[in-house]
Amino acid sequence: MSDEDEREMAGEDDQGEGDGTPEGFGLEPTERAHREAEEERYFVPETSEGIQELRPRGTTGAAELRQEVGAVLRLPEGGYVDPSDIDIEERDDQTMIINMGPQHPSTHGVLRLMLELDGETVLRTKPVIGYLHTGMEKTGEELTYVTGGTNTTRMDYLSPLHNELVFALATEQLLGVELPPRATWIRMLMCELNRVSSHLVWMATNGGDLGSTSMLVYGFREREMVLAFFEKTTGQRMNHNFIRPGGVAADLPDGWEDDVDVICETVLARTYEYDELLTGQPIFRERTEAVGNISAEEALALSVTGPILRSTGVPWDLRRTMPYLAYDKLDFDVIVGTYGDNFDRYSVRLNEIRESIKMIRQIAEMMPPGDYRVQDRKVTPPPRARIDESMEALIHHFKIFTEGFRVPEGEVYVSVESPRGELGCYMVSDGTSKPYRMHIRAPSFVNLQALPLLLRGAMMADAVAIISTVDPVMGEVDR
Amino acid sequence: MSDTTSSAVTPASVLPDVPRLPDRLVDQLAFPSRGTYKQMIGAFREAGFEMCSDLCGVDYLTHPGRTLPEGVTAERFEVVVNLLSLSLRQRVRVRVQVPESDPTVDTITDVYPGADAMEREAYDLVGILFLGHPDMTRILMPEDWEGHPLRKDYGVGRVPVQFKEAPGPR
């Protein structure tokens, strides 16, 4: 690319950022000139794809070098590392920058990675995301609190019920409604079943990435049992819109105890088969042990949550440490690892399936009778039969499904433990029936930041396995 | 529920002994100015808030009359940072007002490296520039995109969607 082209592209980019403020964010002229110079440096001469690319070694700043070796993560507060102390060889000629994805089958969707390789060893990684961005936070501002569940459920398509749960909890928190106990327990039952199905898909795809096609088939086979129960209860296999503000959409179907019992028994027995298939298998151990290590300090600094954080030995599970729903009434263990490597992440997830099954059995035993949703006609619609006989019920029904209900002004941050980590919802209400701002803190989006650190020094062949153990769901990353 | 009405928390009042609240969903709120924002984040980090669990930008263009404590002037933009302390089992929410004329705020990536992607997202979608961020580029939208979609003056149907090929001449 010629210099002219470069300048043109930099110019276009500036226009984009300006957006109505032609002075460019009111920056000081010197600052702005500095920024432009910075941006010009971003362009790699050989590529025309813009500034998200991995820059050549020579142009890497000190801050980036520190981040690359993870030094910035282990610093005491306020401490700084002299960039000349960092032992990084700047050999542009001997390394190779390759592009992986977004169509690579092992990137679990449309994740794209720029990798700098020295032979077979990965040096730098830059995840490039946004290929599945559909503006769901913007869409969320256009949907009412009643219809918003259909939007959030599609973010993390492997654990839709957790997405619905966090949205419903945030709305209820602003509304100040109290749920009947059965609604809470049905939510817990469905969420734990969802955790099982999500971890089963992870087991399956991780097995597939490591070459165990049997695991790929088994994982999806077991998940299908859970999804069949979901279909029976909610009407759909995925994207249920089952957990709604004010309770759940329907009561559990007749004979649900038997279905849940069969799922628990079968999946629990199968997890021991997975043990035989993978856990003790020498090839699997070789490929996973001491691969992709991360320490507890690094994980905390990078805001990594969920099984990745627990695999480093930090017993942080929101169900236990900041209980929501009725998790404080259940007896379960928080699974932790020791080394934070691929194998620990595998065993944390495998054992979490067993813990979830333990919880599901307790929930089934303790399921209280009663209503499955709040009987507040301003929040939940009246029963279908009432509409035929009561004018008031008809009006309430009509109002809820056309205008929705109004939520008092306020803002709230609610978080739950999704299979991938802390799933948060920051919701701002301006007193109307639509959220003013609905921000979802997506665990995979944040966890992806750990990839450059996990991949540094790993072999190219292990990259696929490491991406897999981070368990990114691109629908949630890009939202 | 009532967390908007709880009084403003300053580093001085929070840092010596952080009061524990019975309901975990009612968090501590802090409203620093842009000048003291970074200092406050650093103070919280030292007080045992190990993780920056969330950072996002909000555009209050069409909702200017929100509840704010005394002494805080409402501006168009707000950066909302949710910090988490694992040792104290507590959350704190820091809200900074960012004016429309100069939508810039200091980066906190050197205190919490995990805020990196979140700040890029806030820049990309709301258009708040984080000074000192190592890689202040778009993260979700294409690099040549114009405008910031989560701003309130950015229309939902701004880019027309063509679902099938336009009929050509017959």
The Cα A108–Cα A118 span in angstroms is 25
| Closest chain B CA to residue A421 | B53
Which B residues 86-115 touch A at CB under 8 Å?
A: 86, 89, 91, 93, 101-104, 110-115
Name the minimum distance, in Å, from the CA of A37 to any CA of chain B. Answer: 14
Residue B153: list chain A partners with CB under 8 A: 20
Write the residue in B53, B111, B117 that is nearest to A424 by C-beta: B53
What is the pLDDT, as a whole number, of residue A357?
A: 94
The Cα A370–Cα A360 span in angstroms is 19
pLDDT digit string, tens, across residues B97-151: 899 888 899 988 888 888 889 999 999 899 899 988 877 888 888 887 888 889 8
Q: Is the pLDDT of residue B9 over 60?
A: no
Which B residues 3-22 touch A at CB under 8 Å?
A: 3-4
Q: How large is the greatest C-alpha to C-alpha distance in chain B, in angstroms?
A: 78
What is the pLDDT, as a whole number, of residue A52?
A: 53
Instruction: Name the pLDDT band for B22 (thresholds 50, 70, 90).
Output: very low
What is the domain extent for residue A414?
136-450
What is the pLDDT, as a whole number, of residue A365?
A: 92
Q: Helix A342-366 vs helix A181-209: angle between axes, to the nearest 10 degrees?
A: 150
Size of interface A-B (CB pairs under 8 A): 160
Half-sphere exposure of B45 (CA within 13 A, CB side): 25
Write the residue in B1, B27, B140 that is nearest to A129 by C-beta: B140
The Cα A93–Cα A86 span in angstroms is 20
Determine whether the interchain pair A301/B113 forms a contact, defined as Cβ–Cβ distance below 8 Å. Answer: yes
| Closest chain A CA to residue B140 | A130
Element (H, E) at A68: helix A62-68
What is the pLDDT, as a whole number, of residue B58?
A: 92
Residue B146: list chain A partners with CB under 8 A: 15-16, 19
Q: Is the pLDDT of residue B80 over 70?
A: yes
CATH at A324: 1.10.645.10
The Cα B67–Cα A367 span in angstroms is 40
Residues (pLDDT < 70) of chain A are: 1-93, 105-107
Query: For residue B58, which amino acid is it?
Result: V
ipTM, two decimals? 0.80
Q: Give phi and psi for A410, each to the nearest 5.
A: 160, 180
pLDDT digit string, tens, across residues B43-72: 888 888 888 999 999 999 888 777 777 777
| Closest chain A CA to residue B60 | A436
Domain assignment present for residue A88? The answer is: no
Domain assignment present for residue A29? The answer is: yes
CATH of domain B11-131: 3.30.460.80
Name the minimum distance, in Å, from the CA of B168 to any CA of chain A. Answer: 29
What is the pLDDT, as a whole number, of residue A383?
A: 82
Choice among A188-192, A445-449, B16-20, B29-33 with the minimum mean pLDDT: B16-20
Half-sphere exposure of B79 (CA within 13 A, CB side): 30
Write the residue in A51, A300, A409 that is nearest to B67 by C-beta: A409
Residues A286 and A141 grouped into a single domain: yes
Domain assignment present for residue A261? The answer is: yes
Q: Which of A19, A124, A303 to mutate to test the interface with B (most CBs of B within 10 A)?
A: A303
Determine whether the interchain pair B147/A19 forms a contact, defined as Cβ–Cβ distance below 8 Å. Answer: yes
Which B residues 54-83 touch A at CB under 8 Å?
A: 54, 56, 58-59, 62-63, 66-67, 80, 82
The answer to whether A153 and A401 are in contact (CB under 8 A) is: no
A28-A33-A37-A40 Cα dihedral, nearest 10 degrees: 100
| Closest chain A CA to residue B119 | A446
Closest CA to B95 of A448, A410, A318: A410
- Overall number of domains in chain A: 2
Residues A203 and A319 grouped into a single domain: yes
Element (H, E) at A436: strand A435-441
The answer to whether A372 and A182 are in contact (CB under 8 A) is: yes
Domain assignment present for residue A46? The answer is: yes
Domain assignment present for residue A24? The answer is: yes
Residue A12: list chain B partners with CB under 8 A: 144
Helices (H), A210-330: 213-234, 256-274, 282-288, 296-301, 307-311, 318-321
B111: how many CB neighbours lie within 10 A of its CB?
22
Closest CA to A469 of A420, A423, A422, A424: A420
Domain assignment present for residue A470? The answer is: no
Determine whether the interchain pair A50/B143 forms a contact, defined as Cβ–Cβ distance below 8 Å. Answer: yes
